[in-house]
Amino acid sequence: MPKAVCNSSPLIHLARVGKLEILRDIFDTVLIPEAVYRECVIEGKDKDDARKIKNATWLQVTKIKNIELKKAFNTILDEGESEAIALALQEVADFILLDDYEAREFARIYGLKITGTIGVLLKAKHNGKISNLVQVLERLKETGFWLSENLYSEILRDEGEL
């Protein structure tokens, strides 16, 4: 199974909809940089999703080695995204999990294979870990995850749920 580096957004949203464990089902190893851990757990403090992420002992908090690369990325991206991309390059990850459009475009420049919260949920549906995508997507939208109505309809149509 593949190795993935995950940014904050997929962790937070999957935790909020009760699907964080899907990452463990899909990926052999899930690495998160220290900045992502800080954003999700330390800054998240007593939130339910922060506790779920903290208790996911299978998530491996990993230190990035190339601080200069992170600083260069950080001129364009936030700290978590910068560290996630630097870590994915450092660890030769099979996937990087990013939701932010600009971060995804930046990761593409470096040849990283990208997926995000929706991609993880679709993979879980194809693997039989989710039976009703409509319910999960509705809960996801309730967490503040932005999903255009066109994309929402397209996903459900492609998955035979519309």
pLDDT of residue 2: 94
Query: What is the structure's pLDDT at 136?
Result: 96
Q: Report whether pLDDT(1) > 80.
A: no
How far apart are the C-alpha atoms of 30 and 110, rounded to whole Å?
20
DSSP letter string over 95-125?
Answer: EEE---HHHHHHHHHTT--EE-HHHHHHHHH
Predicted TM-score of the model (pTM) = 0.93
Structural domains of the chain sorted by starting position, each given as residue range(s) with its CATH number in brackets: 3-118 (3.40.50.1010)
Task: Please give the backbone phi and psi of residue 95, each rounded to the nearest 5 degrees, phi first.
Answer: -145, 150
pLDDT digits (tens, 9 = 90+) for 99-152: 999 999 999 999 999 999 999 999 999 999 999 999 999 999 998 999 999 999
* Buried-exposed string 143-155: b where 16+ CB fall within 10 A, e elsewhere: eebeeeeeebeeb
Please report the pLDDT score of residue 16 as a whole number: 96
Q: Summarize the chain as % helix, strand, coil (round to 5).
A: 55, 10, 35
**Confidence tier at 162 by pLDDT (50, 70, 90):** confident
pLDDT in tens, 55-110: 999 999 999 999 999 999 999 999 999 999 999 999 999 999 999 999 999 999 99
Instruction: Report yes or no: 86 and 63 within 8 Å, Cβ to Cβ.
Output: no
User: Looking at residue 46, what is its pLDDT?
Assistant: 85
